């Protein structure tokens, strides 16, 4: 999972060659200019064959694919905590819990994975129980006893990690009393000196009120273990209770926890019915990443993004409104674009976003490697249809020639080879043909989509025309659109076949002089969605 210093750079939904290459080339540039952050190129959908060819030709890895950028648990400011382990003492866990704001801590197993939770409420019974209930048949790690009872070794060798047995107070025992095997006796220095204690055959002895062991001598012929403690007998008895492990107090059933990858909106819904205030968070491996409380939902760190080749919300990733947009690099009209704060915005009336990016390389004196030159060239040639589109400017052509020299390719040969990888519509589901590069627009009172696919010989696809036209109607209806237009653009035939659908298809019929009752027309010299189709539709929509 990318860290908090990651900036995502991506183009529009249904990525084409220009938007994909723009994300890659601008991310490479930004990483050279600002190494303190990580700029990650991404796409919002599957790559088409043309774009895949470009990446393979220049040996560049595909960008990561993003499904959405809605806020996730990982975007919250989680409380970093040290988890509890089930063998830790009650005293140690209490000390940890009182130092946390939520008074609840997660419990980790030996692999640091979440196994339960424990709260201050769970510990209260153990803290208030009488000693008689807690001195028989105990199991306590010796590490807990050594720490909580402040024990020092006087004699013997401690071989076991776990104390299993009962604890006795020597003054409560009589001559006829027998203690259980592995018993532990608490006494004072005088009682140790009587020698009677050893007739009880304790495995362990704790001598109370001893600040310094230097004045004590080992006991001959005693094979057990003798400890000393500066605590008095009463405090030692109470401390035994606090040395017990918390294993029996842990809540393990019906845990409420969340994963770093979960959507914040889903978390909010779950919290409506929850009785808890604090919740553990785990990573993909189940390891504890932190905790959060309900108030943390108000403190969510937005992801940082840079948009290339688009600026409209409808064409961007789901959840874009919750993120911090740092920059926009685009060559389209500015539409319904709003941000939470100021940003760097660069839009130029050129044929390709990669033209603008190439200028940025040159303006910042960043040397262009062959791979990046090849990708920028690919974006320019794709969006300008090898300079045949009316959107092409002299600047596009000039920089394309400059990039072709660095990339070591012939513009015409490489361009035609690249565009020939355009969609082979035979065998592709009609819905995929329509939606792969579909852009939506609000034109007055009408909601419109315009899809464009670069193909070879349009006549070869006449056999699937009826399927495509029917599917275009379905796409229009399913997306609540008034008009849907599909452009099948062919350099070979030098134009575009327009197919229209929707209740308001009269807009396209009037704009492009379709015969009455016709849903398609081939228009010679029509190549640009941006300059030749969208403006005409808008003119009719507002007329």
Distance of CA 440 to the CA centre of its chain: 28
Cα–Cα dist 156/133, whole Å: 29
Answer yes or no: is pLDDT of 498 > 90. yes
> How many other C-beta atoms are found inside a 10 Å radius of the C-beta of residue 4?
12
Give the mean model confidence (pLDDT) for residues 246-252. Answer: 91
Cα–Cα dist 306/314, whole Å: 16
> What pLDDT is attached to residue 461?
65
Cα–Cα dist 76/78, whole Å: 6
Cα–Cα dist 500/127, whole Å: 77
The owner of tokens 């009182």 is: 98
Phi and psi angles of residue 385, each rounded to the nearest 5 degrees, phi first: 50, 55
Report yes or no: 19 and 42 within 8 Å, Cβ to Cβ: no
Answer yes or no: is pLDDT of 2 > 60. no
Cα torsion at 195, 196, 198, 199 (round to 10°)? 140
Cα–Cα dist 108/96, whole Å: 14
Report yes or no: 328 and 42 within 8 Å, Cβ to Cβ: no
Of 159-168, 194-203, 406-415, 498-507, which gets the smallest average pLDDT? 194-203
In terms of Cα–Cα distance, which of 162, 161, 203 is closest to 182? 203
Q: Any idea what DSSP says for residue 212?
A: -
Cα–Cα dist 141/138, whole Å: 10
Cα–Cα dist 505/508, whole Å: 5
Cα–Cα dist 376/386, whole Å: 13
> What pLDDT is attached to residue 75?
86
Q: Where are the domains of the chain?
A: 6-71+303-419, 430-541
Answer yes or no: is pLDDT of 1 > 50. no
Give the mean model confidence (pLDDT) for residues 387-410. Answer: 96
Looking at domain 430-541, which CATH architecture does it have? Roll (3.10)
Q: How far apart are the first and last CA of the chain?
A: 50
Give the mean model confidence (pLDDT) for residues 516-535. Answer: 89
Cα–Cα dist 399/493, whole Å: 27
Answer yes or no: is pLDDT of 72 > 60. yes
Task: Read off the pLDDT band of 94 (50, 70, 90).
Answer: very high
Estimate the share of the chain in helix, then strand, then coil, as percent rounded to the nearest 5: 35, 25, 40
Give the mean model confidence (pLDDT) for residues 225-235. Answer: 96
> What pLDDT is attached to residue 154?
94
Phi and psi angles of residue 480, each rounded to the nearest 5 degrees, phi first: 55, 45
> What pLDDT is attached to residue 315?
86
The owner of tokens 């030692």 is: 236
Give the mean model confidence (pLDDT) for residues 444-450. Answer: 93
> What pLDDT is attached to residue 352?
96
Give the mean model confidence (pLDDT) for residues 464-480. Answer: 90
Extract the tokens encoding 101: 């704001």
Task: Read off the pLDDT band of 420 (50, 70, 90).
Answer: confident
Give the mean model confidence (pLDDT) for residues 65-84. Answer: 88
> What pLDDT is attached to residue 460?
61
Computed over every residue of the chain, the mean pLDDT equals 89
Cα–Cα dist 95/304, whole Å: 39
How do residues 107-126 score in pLDDT, each as one tens digit? 999 999 999 999 888 888 77
Answer yes or no: is pLDDT of 85 > 80. yes
How do residues 364-390 score in pLDDT, each as one tens digit? 999 999 999 999 999 999 999 999 889
Cα–Cα dist 454/491, whole Å: 8
| Cα separations in angstroms, 32 against 35, 39, 276, 442, 538 | 6, 10, 47, 38, 41
Looking at domain 6-71+303-419, which CATH architecture does it have? Alpha-Beta Complex (3.90)
Cα–Cα dist 288/283, whole Å: 7
Give the mean model confidence (pLDDT) for residues 289-300. Answer: 84
> What pLDDT is attached to residue 422?
67
> What pLDDT is attached to residue 500?
95
Cα–Cα dist 45/52, whole Å: 13
Report yes or no: 106 and 117 within 8 Å, Cβ to Cβ: yes
Count Cα atoms within 13 angstroms, Cβ side, for 23: 31
Extract the tokens encoding 537: 């539709």
How do residues 179-190 score in pLDDT, each as one tens digit? 888 899 999 999
The residues near 205 (Cβ < 8 Å, ≥ 6 apart) are 184, 185, 186, 187, 192, 197, 224, 225, 226, 227
- pTM over 0.85, yes/no: no
Give the mean model confidence (pLDDT) for residues 16-36. Answer: 96
In terms of Cα–Cα distance, which of 26, 20, 18 is closest to 346? 26
> What pLDDT is attached to residue 127?
76
The pairs formed by 219-223 with CB atoms below 8 angstroms and a separation of 24 or more are 219/155, 219/192, 222/155, 222/156, 222/198, 223/156
């Amino acid at each position: 999972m990318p860290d908090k210093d990651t900036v995502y750079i991506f183009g529009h939904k249904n990525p084409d060659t220009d938007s994909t290459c723009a994300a890659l080339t601008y991310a490479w540039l930004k990483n050279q200019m600002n190494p303190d952050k990580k700029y990650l190129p991404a796409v919002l959908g599957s790559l088409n064959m043309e774009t895949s060819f470009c990446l393979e030709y220049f040996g560049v890895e595909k960008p990561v694919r993003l499904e959405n950028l809605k806020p996730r648990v990982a975007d919250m400011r989680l409380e970093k905590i040290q988890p509890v382990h089930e063998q830790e003492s009650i005293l140690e866990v209490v000390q940890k819990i009182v130092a946390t704001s939520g008074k609840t801590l997660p419990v980790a197993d030996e692999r640091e994975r979440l196994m339960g939770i424990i709260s201050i409420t769970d510990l209260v019974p153990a803290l208030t129980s009488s000693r008689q209930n807690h001195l028989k048949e105990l199991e306590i790690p010796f590490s807990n006893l050594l720490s909580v009872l402040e024990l020092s070794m006087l004699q013997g060798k401690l071989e076991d990690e776990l104390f299993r047995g009962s604890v006795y107070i020597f003054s409560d025992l009589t001559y006829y009393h027998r203690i259980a095997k592995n018993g532990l006796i608490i006494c004072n220095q005088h009682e140790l000196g009587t020698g009677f204690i050893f007739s009880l055959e304790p495995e362990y002895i704790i001598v109370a009120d001893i600040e310094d062991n230097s004045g004590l001598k080992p006991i001959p012929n005693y094979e057990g273990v003798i400890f000393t403690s500066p605590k008095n007998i009463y405090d030692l008895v109470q401390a035994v209770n606090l040395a017990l492990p918390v294993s029996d107090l842990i809540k393990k059933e019906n845990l409420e926890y969340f994963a770093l990858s979960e959507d914040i909106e889903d978390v909010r819904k779950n919290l409506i019915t929850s009785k808890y205030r604090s919740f553990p968070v785990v990573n993909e491996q189940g390891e504890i990443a932190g905790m959060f409380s309900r108030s943390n939902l108000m403190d969510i760190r937005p992801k940082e993004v840079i948009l290339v080749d688009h600026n409209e919300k409808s064409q961007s990733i789901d959840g874009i409104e919750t993120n911090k947009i740092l920059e926009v690099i685009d060559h389209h009209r500015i539409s319904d674009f709003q941000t939470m704060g100021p940003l760097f915005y660069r839009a130029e009336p050129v044929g390709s976003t990669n033209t603008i990016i190439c200028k940025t390389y040159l303006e910042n004196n960043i040397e262009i490697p062959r791979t990046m030159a090849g990708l920028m060239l690919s974006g320019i040639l794709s969006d300008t249809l090898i300079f045949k589109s009316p959107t092409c400017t002299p600047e596009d052509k000039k920089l394309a020639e400059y990039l072709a020299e660095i990339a070591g390719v012939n513009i015409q040969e490489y361009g035609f080879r690249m565009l020939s990888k355009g969609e082979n519509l035979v065998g592709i589901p009609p819905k995929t043909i329509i939606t792969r590069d579909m852009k939506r627009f609000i034109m007055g009172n009408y909601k419109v989509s315009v899809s464009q696919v670069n193909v070879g010989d349009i006549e070869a696809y006449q056999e699937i025309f009826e399927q495509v036209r029917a599917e275009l109607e379905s796409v229009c209806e399913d997306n609540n659109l008034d008009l849907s237009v599909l452009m099948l653009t062919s350099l070979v035939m030098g134009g575009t076949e327009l197919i229209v659908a929707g209740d308001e298809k009269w807009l396209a019929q009037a704009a492009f002089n379709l015969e009455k009752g016709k849903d398609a027309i081939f228009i010679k010299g029509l190549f640009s969605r941006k300059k030749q189709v969208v403006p005409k539709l808008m003119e009719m929509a507002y007329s």
